[in-house]
Amino acid sequence: MLTLRGLTKKYGAKTAVDDLSLEVVPGRITGFLGPNGAGKSTTMRMIMGLDRPTRGTALVGGKPYAELTHPLRVVGALLDARAAHPRRTAHAHLLAMARSNGIPARRVPEVLDAVGLGEVAGSRAGSFSLGMAQRLDIAAALLGDPEVLLLDEPVNGLDPDGVLWVRSFLRSLAAEGRTVFLSSHLMSEMELTADRLVVIGRGRLLADGPVADVVAAGTRRTVRVRGPEHGGIALLADRLTAQGAEVTRPAPDELSVSGVPLERVGDLAHEARVHLYELRAVQASLEEAYMRLTSQSVEYAQRRTDETAGV
């Protein structure tokens, strides 16, 4: 388990992480989301003891990382791609890590096979593609058979087969009762992979809960209505507006309705004798929820000016 209590990191006048408290529990994949500059990497570095908190605590299995007797056996991390020395082979890189941490050498071929690099164990890390380097870093994180996995953008550089492999692999690790804490900017992949989401912006907690709850909290439920163009849709739009609904008309034969339940839309259409082709609730996406939740927390928002508008 990972436990953060009032975790804060300041760099001079800038606050990178601001009073962050949460628990990341075993048996689930917890996604960690936030815009660039939100404090995700800083948070992970403080968990790993690479950055010292200004105040607050970050505990791994109830202890600060620096106090772990065998850290690689407790937490495995992927924080920087291509962490291996480019002139070392994949096998030599992992063997050096194993020997320095009291891990049996037999564990090296096991994790290389697990990530699909068994056949290139004797190749130098510098010759690896970004996707292969990611697999090697995941192998390093798994080397000590840890209880906790801390992974920053693990699917970066992977092809679709590799992304699917990471998703399935992480699910199998969580099913074994491990704690998996995963950051990514790929909303669609996070929606498919994570069980729970933690969203931060400007270092502060914005949302924490099951994926479905975070999506529901960050979006407004809408109803899509489609019917004949000859007056019926316009009449229904007027009736819905009178009921306090927010109505837009994306197309002449279509309405997008929020603020009124689907059942009430159907009742109003029936009362007005409006024939419909389609009436359904629109499933919101994690991307939409994320954009709403973080809209006031984007540090590097694009600004259009007269000078840049034509670029």
Summarised one tens digit per residue, pLDDT across range 124-167 is 999 998 888 889 999 999 999 999 999 998 888 788 888 898 89
What is the reported pTM?
0.77
Confidence of residue 307 (pLDDT cuts 50, 70, 90): very low
pLDDT in tens, 82-116: 778 999 999 999 999 999 889 999 999 999 999 99
Q: Half-sphere exposure of 13 toward its Cβ, with a 13 Å CA cutoff?
A: 0
pLDDT band at 298 (very low <50, low <70, confident <90, very high): low
Say yes or no to pLDDT of 308 above 50.
Answer: no
pLDDT surpasses 90 at 294 = no
User: Which residue type does 65 have?
Assistant: Y
Per-residue pLDDT, averaged over 176-184, amounts to 94
pLDDT of 179 > 90? The answer is yes
List strand residue ranges (DSSP E) for the chain, in order: 2-11, 14-24, 29-33, 55-60, 75-78, 148-152, 179-183, 196-201, 204-210, 222-226, 246-251, 254-258, 278-282
**Mean pLDDT to the nearest integer, 274-278:** 92
- Res 67: pLDDT: 93
Provide the pLDDT confidence category of residue 311 given band limits of 50, 70 and 90.
very low
User: What is residue 232's predicted lDDT score, i.e. its pLDDT?
Assistant: 87
pLDDT at 27: 95
- pLDDT tens across 49-91, in order? 999 999 999 999 899 999 998 899 999 999 877 778 999 999 9
Q: Tell me what the mean pLDDT of segment 166-185 comes to.
A: 93
| CA neighbor of 20 nearest in space, from 60, 47, 49, 48 | 47
- By the 10 Å C-beta count (0-12 exposed, 13-18 middle, 19+ buried), 139 is classed as buried
**pLDDT score, position 309:** 41
**pLDDT number for residue 302:** 52
What digits encode the pLDDT tens for the residues 191-230?
Answer: 889 999 999 998 999 999 998 888 877 666 789 999 887 7
Instruction: Check pLDDT > 70 for residue 300.
Output: no
In single-letter form, the type of residue at position 198 comes to: V
| pLDDT (tens digit per residue) in 16-57 | 999 999 999 999 999 999 888 889 999 999 999 999 999 999
Q: Which of 140, 147, 139 is nearest to 24 (CA)?
A: 147
The CATH-assigned architecture of domain 2-211 is 3-Layer(aba) Sandwich (3.40)
Domain parsing of the chain, residue ranges: 2-211, 220-283
| pLDDT of amino acid 289 | 79
Q: What is the CATH number of domain 220-283?
A: 3.30.70.600
